[in-house]
Chains A and B, each alone.
Chain A
Amino acid sequence: MVNIIRGDVNNKPVSSKRLAEYFEKRQDIDGSLYLGYPIIGTSQGGYQIDALLVSKKHGVVIFNIIEGANTNIDIEAAEDESFNKVQSKLLGNPNLTKKRNLMVDIDALTYAPALTVPPNNVAKIITSEPQLDEHLKSLNWQHSEEYFTSLNSVIQAITSIRKRKQRNYVKKEDSRGAKLKKLEDSIANLDREQSAGVIETVEGVQRIRGLAGSGKTIVLALKVAYLHASHPDWNIAVTFNTRSLKNQFKQFINTFTIEHISEEPDWEKIKIIHAWGSPSIEGIYYEVCKKHNIEFRDLSAAKNLINESGREFDAVCEEALNKITCFEQYYDAILVDEAQDFSQHFLQICYKILKHPKRLVYAYDELQSLSNKTMGSLEEIFGKDTNGNPLVQLQNKPGEPKQDIILEICYRNSGPLLTSAHALGFGIYRHEGLIQMFDDAGLWRDIGYEVEAGNLVDGQYVKLARTNKTSPDFLKSHSDINDLIIFKSFNNNHEQVTWLVNEIEKNLQEDELKCDDIMVIHSNPVRTRQAVGEARNLLFARKINSNLAGVTSSPDEFFSNEAIIFTSIYRAKGNEASMIYVMDAHECFSGPELARKRNILFTAMTRSKAWLRILGYGEEMTGLMAEFEQVRSRNFVLEFTYPTEEERRKMNLINRDMNPKERKRIDQTNRNLREMLEALGNGEMHKEDLPQELIEKLKEYIL
């Protein structure tokens, strides 16, 4: 079947729709039809192709589309131009050439369905479906087997990201470095959903959901490049929460735009900015305050508004929404990454500052929210119109660009790793029971699990596993399963540190890994700085340099090729590395605010592109290992009874986040209670000493 990707075909909506409908019916063709894509970089800027068919049988077929009955253009010249541009783009890729020849067949034709009488001087103008049928039959690409995959890759312009690392130093055949090289070569193409995410342009709000490692950031960056290339006059903003993403975005957008228009983007038109901002750093909120002349609140000023830690940004956004009656609209498109870390009020602000038709694209991941926020419903976020209908509905209507896109394939983590991360993140095999669970059971399918047994229904048993499609095999086939994920328990911190340092040394000296292939994540953000000191010092003594990611390493940089990065989870988010070490994992095993702790563990584990080492010491580490052992022994499936709504409510309560005041209060109260019980127990106090009304209350609340 033909995968239709609906980009923006300037001014030719009806004809392009017709072309799409034609190919939708052609179930016999294996390939993709791109509308309004690609945009090819030339010395005169970006040249947009109306429609392109990439098919195994036919090769590349370029369509110049004529919308109405206007044939005043020089049809042959236009076809020649399209042909030449596409050919030169493809010729630039050694993967598609043999000696001096392009091994891909290219054909160019003109499609004008509105014409009833074709002009008599041109041979190849196609005005009807039967004509198209005929023409396609005549095309037969001989070399498709060898070149089809590379062809897709080139068309999607993602070949440039593959070149990220030159691993020419790899000498041994199956060192870790060699395995990485093969791994990086395997990730060849965008999948169908990713392509849709990039190119399909909605005249309205679009949502991209996907789990960690599904490529959301790349999809957004590619999308920005595409929008900028097709609408150079648009004002586009990209925003996100993790500051270390800024550089990544800038780099990707730069590279992809160059592919499209052969020059760097106009950075006046594309703004990669933070959400909050300040007088020294551009930000969406700060800009809004400036433009509408309201008071800007930084973090400390925000704390005067609201005392709940973590909700400060939400509060300032809400205040701005209330204070501003008439919003200026100055953006044509806004893309928000990591939307799960923002609140609905921020999205509302973005919606309001957008020009009609409100092109807001937001990407998010359900489980990655480190602060347990949940997105409200669409009605809550975007509101209703004058008739009471929700303004934003996010439906995927057939024949139209998709409004709700789910990226279910995880390209970063292997199946076993992701399953283990989910198992530990949710506490599926935890002795005391589940810690958290999706309210919507269907979400498991959306993120790429299939039901092997049982049912995804409240109260019922279910067995879930990842499929080969949603967790490609090549992500795990390079190493033995017992090398992919290793849990290690030590007797004390010193042993942990020694082992870690020895392993890192081995990685660099024997395994042919580089410093930026490794990331060491510490489980407790508050203690990270001191906790990693010993390990870093030992490494320094062995002539291995390391950095501590903090607020001062330019928050936009992260990896270095001369130093190993040590980081807490907050800076690690959004980044990935082939070898991940998690230190002091036992701190995430149990205790208060367990949901947050397990989320930290989940996020840490899902940073790994290949290998994962989870380290810790003490009884809690043993407990954690036992949970993992459950997953491993079942061959990496998730088996559990789906909790009912009541059970979920209880879970959320027990494991909820607390702010420091709450925490202190609870600790204090528990201590007092303990003291009282002890005193009662050893006779220092008698129950007659307690006033009757207190005893009654105790009975009521607790017993």
Chain B
Amino acid sequence: MREIQRITGKLISIGLSVAQNFPTTAFVRDSGQIIAYEGIQDLSIALKNIDYKEIYDELEKGKNYNIKMVDGALIQFLYTYKRSELVAHRLAFFPSPYLAEFQNNPEIYQEDAVYADIIAKNILPVPIRFDYDPDNHQELDHPKCHLTLGQFKNCRIPVCSPITPSTFISFILRHFYNTGYRNFTEDINFATQLFDETITIREQKVLHMAIC
């Protein structure tokens, strides 16, 4: 929780977060604990079979995110614990479908390094989700921790273990806000802790994501 708070604060101070919600933790039955953000509502919309634009609009309107980035992308950090043990997480990155403004007025944004990556017209931003869902584990088809790209239902790239908020944010910043990231690396110092490995041997034998 503290980590999320810290990350949010950092992103605000360097101006990457234009809107944000306070991280919260709620206690539920069975000594469970859910870390999320204030004002969280039903998120099943994100999984519905409707236009991405509509999904984005719904999430944005309902302020269903931890952080809204300077280009409109939404970031969610959701962790569920039971008796101090992590039982599920969902880390999501929903890019904005409305990047035309930046791409059509590049000079305005060129001056500001943080926009450098997104003003290119040829890019196609993609929704990214890191899910830790051990209850539904099926070797290879549904690894305990997996990465889903572009909201494809069956895309579940194995990931070696659950990941921390810092790892996730570093990943997003490094690859999608690279110029901004480079300019601020002294400010963005996210320590990386590791969770225990949850990937199986067979899953390791196919293309997967790992961090050491």
Is B62 in the interface zone, CB < 8 Å from A?
Answer: no
Q: Which of B1-55 contact A (CB under 8 A)?
A: 8-10, 12-15, 17-22
Q: Within 8 Å CB of B58, what residues of A?
A: none
Is A273 in the interface zone, CB < 8 Å from B?
Answer: no
Bound-complex Cα distance A536 to B9 (A): 9
Q: Are A278 and B15 in contact (CB under 8 A)?
A: no
Q: Within 8 Å CB of B102, what residues of A?
A: 551
Is A552 in the interface zone, CB < 8 Å from B?
Answer: yes
Interface size class of A (residues with CB under 8 A): 20 to 34
Bound-complex Cα distance A490 to B21 (A): 31
Closest to B187 in A: A533
Is B96 in the interface zone, CB < 8 Å from A?
Answer: yes
* Of B15, B18, B72, the contact of A530 (CB 8 Å cutoff): B15
Q: Are B19 and A547 in contact (CB under 8 A)?
A: yes
Bound-complex Cα distance A303 to B107 (A): 10
Q: Are B19 and A533 in contact (CB under 8 A)?
A: no
Q: Which of A103-135 contact B (CB under 8 A)?
A: none
Bound-complex Cα distance A605 to B60 (A): 31
**Chain B: interface residue total (CB-CB under 8 A):** 30
Nearest CB in chain B: distance from A683 CB, A: 40
Q: Within 8 Å CB of A298, what residues of B?
A: 104
* Of A309, A537, A552, the contact of B18 (CB 8 Å cutoff): A552
Closest to A536 in B: B12
Bound-complex Cα distance A438 to B138 (A): 76
Q: Within 8 Å CB of A299, what residues of B?
A: 104-105
* Of A533, A547, A563, the contact of B13 (CB 8 Å cutoff): A533
Q: Within 8 Å CB of B98, what residues of A?
A: 552
Q: Are B14 and A530 in contact (CB under 8 A)?
A: yes
From A7-15, A322-330, A349-357, A538-546, the one touching the partner chain is: A538-546
Is B70 in the interface zone, CB < 8 Å from A?
Answer: yes
Interface centre among A541, A547, A548 (most CB of B within 10 A): A548
Q: Are B101 and A537 in contact (CB under 8 A)?
A: no
Q: Are B101 and A551 in contact (CB under 8 A)?
A: yes
Q: Are B68 and A552 in contact (CB under 8 A)?
A: yes
Q: Are A280 and B100 in contact (CB under 8 A)?
A: yes
Nearest CB in chain B: distance from A524 CB, A: 12
Q: Within 8 Å CB of B104, what residues of A?
A: 278, 298-300
Is B106 in the interface zone, CB < 8 Å from A?
Answer: yes
Q: Within 8 Å CB of B14, what residues of A?
A: 530, 533
Bound-complex Cα distance A563 to B60 (A): 15
Nearest CB in chain A: distance from B14 CB, A: 6
Closest to B14 in A: A533
Q: Which of A263-280 contact B (CB under 8 A)?
A: 278, 280
Bound-complex Cα distance A532 to B22 (A): 19
Bound-complex Cα distance A300 to B109 (A): 12
Bound-complex Cα distance A484 to B68 (A): 35
Closest to B105 in A: A299
Q: Which of B72-101 contact A (CB under 8 A)?
A: 72, 96, 98, 100-101
Bound-complex Cα distance A412 to B118 (A): 40
Closest to B39 in A: A562
Q: Are B105 and A540 in contact (CB under 8 A)?
A: no
Q: Are A529 and B19 in contact (CB under 8 A)?
A: no
Q: Within 8 Å CB of B71, what residues of A?
A: 552
Is A473 in the interface zone, CB < 8 Å from B?
Answer: no
Q: Are A548 and B101 in contact (CB under 8 A)?
A: no
Q: Within 8 Å CB of A309, what residues of B?
A: 107
Q: Within 8 Å CB of B20, what residues of A?
A: 540, 545
Q: Within 8 Å CB of A550, what residues of B?
A: 18, 70
Q: Within 8 Å CB of A547, what residues of B?
A: 18-19
* Of A300, A540, A548, the contact of B8 (CB 8 Å cutoff): A540
Bound-complex Cα distance A529 to B102 (A): 16
Is A97 in the interface zone, CB < 8 Å from B?
Answer: no
Q: Within 8 Å CB of B72, what residues of A?
A: 552
What are 26 of the A-B contact pairs (CB < 8 Å)? A278-B100, A299-B104, A300-B104, A300-B105, A309-B107, A526-B111, A529-B70, A529-B114, A530-B14, A533-B15, A537-B9, A537-B10, A537-B13, A540-B9, A541-B9, A546-B12, A547-B19, A548-B17, A548-B18, A548-B19, A548-B70, A550-B18, A550-B70, A552-B18, A552-B68, A563-B19
Residues of A within 8 A of B (CB): 278, 280, 298-300, 303, 309, 526, 529-530, 532-534, 536-537, 540-541, 543, 545-554, 563
In the complex, besides A300-B106, A550-B70, A552-B18, 9 extra interface pairs with C-beta distance below 8 angstroms are A300-B104, A309-B107, A529-B112, A533-B14, A536-B13, A546-B12, A547-B19, A548-B19, A552-B96
Residues of B within 8 A of A (CB): 8-10, 12-15, 17-22, 60, 68, 70-72, 96, 98, 100-102, 104-107, 111-112, 114
- Please give me the 8 A-B residue pairs with the lowest Cβ-Cβ distance, nearest first: A552-B72, A537-B13, A548-B18, A529-B15, A533-B13, A533-B15, A547-B19, A537-B12
